[in-house]
Amino acid sequence: MTYELKFDVERGDFETAGLASRKIKKTLQQLGINNKTIRQVSIAGYEGEMNLAIHSDGGYISLMVLDGELVLVIEDTGPGIPDIALAMQEGYSTAGDEVREMGFGAGMGLPNMRNNSDAFEINSEPGVGTRIEMHFNTKT
Amino acid sequence: MKVSDLCKKDEFTCLNPEVGLDGEILNGYAGDLLSWVMANAKAGSAWVTIQTHVNIVAVATLLEMACIIIPEGAEIEESALERAILEDVPIIATKLNAYEVCRVLAKAGI
């Protein structure tokens, strides 16, 4: 069984950001995926969406449902991440004051994605963009 | 304790009573950093936050929280309330501060 969902997310789109994760969650519920995995994908997806809205010049979030695993991809065009190791540290954030006042920019987004996925890969090129691929096992 | 039981208390007002209030409050969580909340809050939480924008509804929905409690009389944004109605997330307002809200929840056995 293969199933794919894809949603575009624009920079600064805080009003609708979160909707893609919500739709992904609903789909996974309909497919009968276990609750723990749904929670992990929801958290990782939401963090990805927020990163697109906060940091990128626009991008997409996609979910592939494969036999035994889910693959979540967050890809954008934008400034990229010059130092990925630093960006992966909990508490490190480059978010501006305006979004911090909204409760974003805790420096937990990338760590939350890594901690909730079974495999996590991030590639980024400064001035070009960033691609994150996460895998979640669904075999119980 | 059900969400409806909390709404019956004098200090609390449900801002969108048209949503289902039968959800059970299993635990409480207080926090305003959304990623931190995403990482740590549990399903069934009564979440106390001073954030009032639409993204709190996304967080509450994804984590299957029981309700959001807005303390200290902070005014919730209209777009957030509209989304909360769509997503069936109870939003409860109170003049109590976050600590006092947690005391009420604790007294109720949560």
From chain B, pick out residues whose CB is under 8 angstroms from the CB of A17: 55, 58
Length of chain A: 140
Residue type, A139: K
Residue with the bigger pLDDT between A140 and A39: it is: A39
**Local structure of B75: helix, strand or coil:** coil
CB distance B53–A102 less than 8 Å?
yes
Element (H, E) at B95: none
Helix (H, G, I), strand (E, B) or coil at A112: helix
Q: Does A130 touch chain B (CB under 8 A)?
A: no
pLDDT in tens, A49-91: 999 999 999 999 999 999 999 999 999 999 999 999 999 999 9
- Whole-model pTM: value is 0.91
DSSP 8-state secondary structure symbol assigned to residue B77: P
Give the whole-angstrom CA distance, residue A65 versus residue A34: 13
pLDDT digits (tens, 9 = 90+) for B74-103: 999 999 999 999 999 999 999 999 999 999
Q: In this complex, do A14 and B53 lie within 8 Å of one another by their Cβ atoms?
A: yes
User: What share of chain B has pLDDT > 70, as a percent?
Assistant: 100
- Closest approach of chain B CAs to the CA of A67, in angstroms? 24
Domain definitions of chain B by residue range: 3-107
pLDDT digits (tens, 9 = 90+) for B2-55: 999 999 999 999 999 999 999 999 999 999 999 999 999 999 999 999 999 999
Q: Could you give all domains of chain A from N- to C-terminal order, each with its CATH number?
A: 3-137 (3.30.565.10)
Interface test with A, best of B35, B48, B65 (most A CBs within 10 A): B35
Min Cα–Cα distance to chain B from A2, Å: 24
Decide if B57 and A25 are in contact by the 8 Å CB cutoff. Answer: no
Q: Please give the CATH topology (third level) of the domain spanning B3-107.
A: 3.40.1390
A91 near B CB under 8 A: no
ipTM of the complex: 0.86
Cβ atoms of residues A128 and A80 within 8 Å: yes
> Residue B101's Cα: distance from chain center in Å?
10
Higher per-residue pLDDT: A98 or B105: B105
DSSP string, A34-55: -HHHHHHHHHHHHHHHHHHHHH
